[in-house]
Amino acid sequence: MEHREFIEYVCKKLQELSAARKDAWIVERAELISENEQQDFIMSLTGEKKITYMPTEAEIDEFCKKVQSGEICVEYETHYFEFDTDGRYMDDWKTWHNDPYGAFPFLDRVFRGCRDLLHLGEYATARKILDQVCCLKFQVVEAEDSEDGLEDDTPFAIVDAGKEQKLSMQMYEIGFLWLEALLLDKQEKEEPKLAKKLLEVFQNEICKKVDPHGFEGLISEKVLDLMEEILEKEIREIDGRLQRLSGEMEHWRERHQLEKKRARKQHLLLDIRKKCKKAEREEKASNQVSVLAASWEQIKELFRTLSYEKYIDDQLEIDEIWRISQALIKRDRFKEEDWKIRKEILREIIAHGYYDCYGCYDPMGELAKKLYITEEETLEYADLLNERGCYAREAAELYLQYGKTDKYVRYLETHLGRSSKEYVELIPYYYNGGKKTRAREIAEQGLKQCKDDLTDLFIFLLQDAKACNEEERYKKLYASAKRRKLVDIARVNEAMK
């Protein structure tokens, strides 16, 4: 039975009951109430309480006043531990916060109660309470048993309680609840005030993982427009402040805080543009002179926002980078774009390691392959890879593919290490080019330095000794090959038949 059907069924049954039976039913419920729940039951019966387990508004008001005055606070405690609970050597400090006044069980009942209030349609009450408690900041005092003092005087916020798992609800749930109450309450009649209040709540740490598109239908197009305008203006102001502080090292902390604020504002702006106003944005983007250049600027802005994230997971920005990249690939009009633009984008992709640290290696790799078209462009791309260093192998393979064997051989010469791959590839270029002595030297060097399969190196040296009729060298090489663990002697024997 669905919830609505259940409620309708209960209403029908209540209408059928006599007044005496209804009274008897209430008394029966009261008989089952424990002593410490009696007062809550009575207040619910008289209408003073909607949710029996939830503190009253007066109790919440009193609680908030005590938190603000410092009468209710949290304790900072830290101790040194040589070993952890599993007996492993630790040699470090553990730090936590105590709750001597039972503040967080109290708040747990408040948050769960607000969720039930919304379910009952008590939007104004829920909104008023959430506005109060979500912005609380607790003073922190040193615990009596702590082995060290406070590191700083930063207050303990609701989001900190979430990090230390002092609340049963996740921050995302609380943030969503807060915004839902604000939108359903409809207290803010003027759209500019609503847009400003929404952005204020969205930018609270509690709402970090909550985005505007989650409230589709509750936020009007006009309010979205106003939110977008406010965010664009605030981002421009932050950019101006960052520009003024760019050369002053003593302001690094202020710059860091501004960059974090900018990242959140940019994230919200992206959500509004991508999911709330997607069609409008795509129409504007299509009118750009260079779609590739404009799209790349969007991608760079998204990477900039991601750079301020502590953890990279399933952020909205990553999804948007994939979407823009795939749209460019599907459009497939790279020939119309200037090579200077394409080359610069390739340079940035390579310089940032295909943005692998942001989980975007695949879309950047796919995009990069589309940016070079002609043979000349491919070789310039190879040069960019080679300059980066860590992509020298990829560059060498392109050089070989397009006939630049001198550059390929130069790569092999400079990468003779512990793998036999480069030795085996280099030997035929010297041997077939008439530099047979150098080819032998490379093979013998490989026998000394390589730590993987030596079979091909022995095969070359044995075939060379046989061709030169050097029977003694042949015997020594073959005996050495039989003793080596890294040689497939069966393959050697097959090659020497």
* Tens-digit pLDDT profile for residues 308-355: 776 777 677 888 899 899 999 998 999 989 999 999 999 999 999 999
* Distance from C-alpha of 94 to C-alpha of 467, rounded to nearest angstrom: 72
Measured CA distances, 393 to 56, 124, 382, 412 (Å): 70, 65, 10, 9
pLDDT score of 169 more than 60: yes
pLDDT score of 132 more than 90: yes
Sign, Cα dihedral of 365, 371, 374, 375 = negative
Q: Are 81 and 140 in contact (CB under 8 A)?
A: no
The pLDDT-based confidence of 109 (bands split at 50, 70, 90) is: very high
What integer is the mean pLDDT of 190-202? 93
Measured CA distances, 265 to 181, 203, 306 (Å): 22, 8, 12
Lowest mean pLDDT among 90-104, 255-269, 480-494: 255-269
What pLDDT does 196 receive? 94
Lowest mean pLDDT among 7-11, 190-194, 369-373: 7-11
What pLDDT does 140 receive? 94
Residue 264, both tokens: 């959140």
pLDDT score of 243 more than 90: no
Higher-confidence residue: 346 or 18? 346
Domain carrying residue 86: 33-204
What would the DSSP string read from start to end of 419-480?
-HHHHHHHHHHHHTTT-HHHHHHHHHHHHHH--S--HHHHHHHHHHHHHTT-HHHHHHHHHH
Q: Is residue 372 domain-resident?
A: no
What pLDDT does 283 receive? 47
Q: In what order do the strands lie in the sheet with 89-98?
A: 89-98, 74-83, 140-142
Q: Is residue 295 domain-resident?
A: no
Q: Are 347 and 384 in contact (CB under 8 A)?
A: yes
Q: Are 373 and 396 in contact (CB under 8 A)?
A: no
Say which residue the tokens 């408040």 belong to: 110
Q: Count how many domains the chain has.
A: 2
What pLDDT does 5 receive? 84
What pLDDT does 285 receive? 47
Residue finishing a domain among 179, 204, 229: 204
* Distance from C-alpha of 456 to C-alpha of 443, rounded to nearest angstrom: 9
Sign, Cα dihedral of 481, 484, 490, 495 = negative
What integer is the mean pLDDT of 427-443? 90
pLDDT score of 274 more than 50: yes
Q: How many CB atoms lie within 10 A of CB 296?
A: 21
pTM above 0.75, yes or no: no
pLDDT score of 372 more than 60: yes
The pLDDT-based confidence of 266 (bands split at 50, 70, 90) is: confident
Q: What is the DSSP-derived secondary structure letter of residue 246? A: T
The pLDDT-based confidence of 279 (bands split at 50, 70, 90) is: very low
The pLDDT-based confidence of 277 (bands split at 50, 70, 90) is: low
74-83/156-157 β-pairing: unpaired
Q: Burial-class residue 324 by CB neighbours within 10 Å (0-12, 13-18, 19+).
A: buried
What is the average pLDDT score of the chain?
Answer: 88
* Tens-digit pLDDT profile for residues 381-400: 999 999 888 888 999 999 99
What pLDDT does 428 receive? 92
Q: Is residue 189 domain-resident?
A: yes
Lowest mean pLDDT among 1-5, 10-14, 346-350: 1-5
Lowest mean pLDDT among 1-15, 204-218, 349-363, 483-497: 1-15
Say which residue the tokens 């589709």 belong to: 216
What pLDDT does 247 receive? 65
What pLDDT does 64 receive? 96
Higher-confidence residue: 429 or 46? 429
Q: Is residue 235 domain-resident?
A: no
Residue finishing a domain among 172, 204, 236: 204
Measured CA distances, 133 to 38, 87, 167, 206 (Å): 26, 41, 13, 11
What pLDDT does 289 receive? 58
Q: Is residue 423 domain-resident?
A: yes
List, in order, residues 6 or more apart from 51 with CB less than 8 Å away.
44, 113, 116, 117
List, in sequence order, every residue forming a beta bridge with 81; answer none if it has no partner: 92
Q: Is residue 395 domain-resident?
A: no
Q: Is residue 99 domain-resident?
A: yes
Between helix 392-401 and helix 375-388 the angle, nearest 10°, is: 150
Higher-confidence residue: 4 or 200? 200
Q: Is residue 191 domain-resident?
A: yes
pLDDT score of 125 more than 90: yes
